[in-house]
A and B are shown apart, each in its own frame.
Chain A
Amino acid sequence: MELLSFGNTGWGDELFIATLMTIAVSITAILIGFFFALIFTPLKLSNNKFLNFIANSYTTVIRGVPELLVIYLFFFGGSGAIMYVASIFGYYEYIEINAFITGSLAIGIISGAYSTEVFRGAIQSVDRGQFEACKALGFKKHIYFLKVIMPQMLRLAIPNLSNVWQITLKDTSLISVTGLVEIMRQSYVAAGSTRDPLFFYSVAALIYLMLTFLSMKLINRLELNYSRGF
């Protein structure tokens, strides 16, 4: 227990900050994921074959390739890509991107592929009559989407989005390979310096369990909120 105390002698405060870092990365990543889903879901549902192809390639590739490989791509390729873009604008200095940004972006793109599939499924399972009714009433496209389809879609999407959140939360542990100090990395450091890996990795497992447990509670409440009237 002494190992977990706060202050200079224990790892409690470090692990607490690392937990906050994990939460921050997860939230950033899932928001980036939603942003990607916002772009790719319409492409998936569009009638244009080419746009379909782009969206399908995105979701297929990301869901078929290990997360760790994607993270390595971003970690090793990220600064190279930025420097390449910068060199076009005549900037040749070495640029290093922060591990938080690379990590959240990599996890976000992965989570976006899952979110896209969830949103596509949810929109497709909204009753067709609802779309037709909106058209018959002459609503503008963005209004009927926001006011009619979206609320119904969210109800259907939330259970699956909670899965995406769980996947995203657990995937953030992989960012530890890039050196970002989140739960896994901090446990690794603590385990290395105290030679007590069993204890610290078990603590890490407990923190993750707690995070998934709490977020499930929260999401269940959200689900109830959106299922009113059903």
Chain B
Amino acid sequence: MDISLMATSLPKLLSAAVVTLKLLSLALFFGLIIGLVFAILRINKNPIINKFAYGYSYVFRGTPLLVQIFIIYFGLGQIEYFRTTFLWVIFKEPYWCAIIAFALNTGAYTSEILRSAFETIKPGIIEAGKSLGISNNIIFYKIQIPVAIRQSLPAYGNEIILMMKGTSLASTVTLMDITGVAKYIISTTFKPIEVFIVAGGIYLFMTFLIHNLIKYLERKYSF
């Protein structure tokens, strides 16, 4: 055990944790929007819209996140036309490519979580709204969405933790997040166990915080 290495690598890894947290929060933010949109498309009666949303979530859940990042980061830059559009400003940065890949990935999982939450809402709640003469739109936004969010909290908490672990893949496209820095320290010092303990400890601490935050929210919004 090399305690001094652990002590010197801790501040480096902690500053890398900021990168991880940024990636995570941006990915979750966009992922939630994407997930909500696709969940609404999934419960649409139109079979084409429905199938499209299903196809999206199937493809992103059926392929590894690493492939998705590589397609977006290495693949898209290959299209000549694409490089002339304004989108190229975003897609040439590994940072944004990683966030887009993470958001699309977590969006697919989130859409499934929200869809099953929408489907398990007791019809009585919606009927109660209708019998009170509330319009369909307001029932959807003020009743169905909040109830669905409450019901999907436990599953969504798991998804947040999975996404947090997923952000480690950002290190494969040159970003220096916790895993990236850990790999760098390991490959320069050849002391994998010490670095693993420190980096793993930071990840575990983040898992612990997320877990408790979700528990707190669950209690707060329980009915």
| A, B from the same assembly | yes
A→B interface (CB under 8 Å): 60-61, 63-69, 72-73, 76-77, 80, 166, 170-171, 173-174, 176-177, 184, 187-188, 191, 195-198, 201-202, 204-205, 208-209, 212-213
A41 to B199, CA, bound (A): 27
Partner of A205, one of B71, B186, B204: B71
In the complex, the answer to whether B203 meets A69 with C-beta atoms within 8 Å is: yes
A177, A205, A208: the one contacting B172 at CB < 8 Å is A177
Chain A residues positioned under 8 Å from B171 (CB to CB): 68
Chain A residues whose CB sits within 8 angstroms of the CB of B183 once the complex forms: 72
| B165 sits at the interface (CB 8 A) | yes
A73 engages B192 (CB within 8 Å): yes
CB–CB B179/A201 < 8 A = no
Q: How far is the CA of A176 from the CA of B207 in the complex (A)?
A: 26
Q: Which of B66, B75, B172 has most A Cβ within 10 Å?
A: B66
**Using Cβ atoms and an 8 Å threshold, which residues of chain B touch A196?**
78
Which B155-169 residues have a C-beta within 8 angstroms of A?
161, 164-169
14 contacts between A and B (CB under 8 A): A61-B204, A66-B179, A68-B168, A68-B169, A68-B179, A69-B203, A72-B183, A73-B193, A170-B63, A191-B74, A197-B71, A198-B71, A201-B71, A205-B67
CB contacts (< 8 Å) of A204 on chain B: these are 67, 70
* B218 → A minimal CB distance (Å): 19
Contact A202 B179, CB 8 Å, known A65-B200, A69-B196: no
> Would you call B3 an interface residue if the criterion is a C-beta within 8 Å of the partner chain's C-beta atoms?
no
Taking beta carbons and an 8 Å cutoff, which residues of B are in contact with A? 58-59, 62-68, 70-71, 74-76, 78-79, 161, 164-169, 171-172, 178-179, 182-183, 186-187, 190, 192-193, 196, 199-200, 203-204, 207-208
Q: Which residues of A contact B58 (CB under 8 A)?
A: 209
Query: Would you call A201 and B75 a contact (CB within 8 A)?
Result: yes
Chain A residues within an 8 Å CB radius of B75: 197-198, 201-202
Task: Please give, as numbers and ranges, the residues of chain A lying within 8 Å of B167 by CB-CB distance.
Answer: 66
Q: Are A198 and B59 in contact (CB under 8 A)?
A: no
Could you tell me if A77 and B193 are in contact, using CB atoms closer than 8 angstroms? Answer: yes
A197 lies within 8 A of B169 (CB): no
Expressed in whole angstroms, the Cα–Cα distance for A16 and B208 within the complex equals 41
Q: Which residue of A lies closest to B190 (CB)?
A: A76
Known A-B contacts A184-B67, A208-B62; A69 and B190 likewise in contact (beta carbons under 8 Å): no
